[in-house]
Structure 1
């Protein structure tokens, strides 16, 4: 791989053989929206099976102005759309992954007819892993499965078309630079735009309410979206339960109980 000044090499050794390609494809797909006002995405300069060569980003302190600009840009990225619920980035023909590069979990991709059907499949996959690993009891797994069945039945569908989402938009995947917020480390696919906002809320993000306000001004959020934040957070929390155990399983079951 090319190594030049002002670049950063991200190693993915220890992960799936095509993980670097998956991430590079997602970054480029998200980056297609930048020219139309979408969020800026870190530039992929090169990649191979060991990792990626990316433009080097110099972090600065978050500002209100950058947060508002990012909120507006994220709405434009989402509006770039996707061909189906669960659709992979354009040009990708393999499995998807979600989580740390050295130990990601499978992210089911496909072409579901509704968000709820897609989400039910993904919850079921994680529930099996958590039950088999001892993070969830059999009764807890049944409760998650029951929620998944409600999703599959369309109870939480909002009637929107799939958006082009980052897919793993926790605050650590926002780089605050002198030129504004830059997206890194995606699990990009056709998904629900509320999922990206819920991920930002999961571990907290600087000036989050300013991001929300600016987003809503460009692409208004549907009524009740705040009530669905926990629903969208359930997937990443279950991923954390499978990978790290600890209190994440209790957090997941708290979400299920509230729903």
Structure 2
């Protein structure tokens, strides 16, 4: 029988690494929307969480996940880029630093704190060409003008919502490993689409029951994928640099 807990350890963890994960999980749990894994203990070198029993994904669970995710987003945040309430340490996405911000406008925050911070490393690694970076920078310039801003207040987002962080349990979806912060709800949904998630159409249908997305959201998927693609282009290979460039081109074509 599997143990009831799961522990992650990292001897070289930077200060705040596991504490940020724990703070994000607790903040998301406070929203009383989608379930998140329970934190049992945390310190500088480890985090222990309750193990989740996993089953096969199902359409009904996916639709409920969409509804619950909308409720989590609706719980809100104090600003775009804001860390979990009560936590003032560093933030991370995967093993990379994630800048905190306290912006009242989404476009400036997204361009300057979610895309541009990863471009130097992506280009230095050879995974993003100089010409590709120029395209991404032009897209960021346009985003920072506020052209894509709307009247949606900052949402309480998971921040690293790819399918590997979506666990399907007998009681429904449980989320793990967040990069939680105040962001735009469409960013979480775009990440689900980027890396593929079972029954995505059902998730979106459930989401719309609780919170209808603004007109044209389908056209903005590439816009909201710039952040995860920039993170991956910084360290996961040239294919992500190419995808990042293509997404930026799509933004410029909007």
Q: Deviations over 1:117-149 (max 9, x none)?
A: 111112221112212222223232222111111
Match of 1:48 among 29, 43, 49: 43
Alignment partner, residue 202 of structure 1: 194
Divergent runs of 4+, >6 A: none
1:232 equivalent in alignment to 2:224: yes
CA distance in 2, matches of 1:15, 1:113: 31
Match of 1:20 among 14, 18, 21: 18
Match of 1:119 among 98, 110, 123: 110
Q: Deviations over 1:73-98 (max 9, x none)?
A: 00100000000010000121122111
> Which residues of 2 match residues 171-210 of structure 1 at below 5 A?
171-210=163-202
Question: What residue ranges of structure 1 are gaps of 5+ in the alignment?
Answer: none
Alignment partner, residue 95 of structure 1: 90
1:139 equivalent in alignment to 2:141: no
- SS of the aligned residue for 1:226 comes to helix
- SS of the aligned residue for 1:57 comes to coil
- SS of the aligned residue for 1:229 comes to helix
CA distance in 2, matches of 1:60, 1:212: 21
RMSD of Structure 2 on Structure 1 (CA):
1.4
Q: Is the 8 A contact 2:55 2:168 kept in 1?
A: yes
Count of aligned pairs between the two proteins: 249
Q: Is the 8 A contact 1:98 1:168 kept in 2?
A: yes
Alignment partner, residue 249 of structure 1: 241
Alignment partner, residue 149 of structure 1: 141
Q: Is the 8 A contact 2:128 2:238 kept in 1?
A: no
TM-score w.r.t. length of structure 2:
0.94
Q: Is the 8 A contact 2:161 2:178 kept in 1?
A: yes
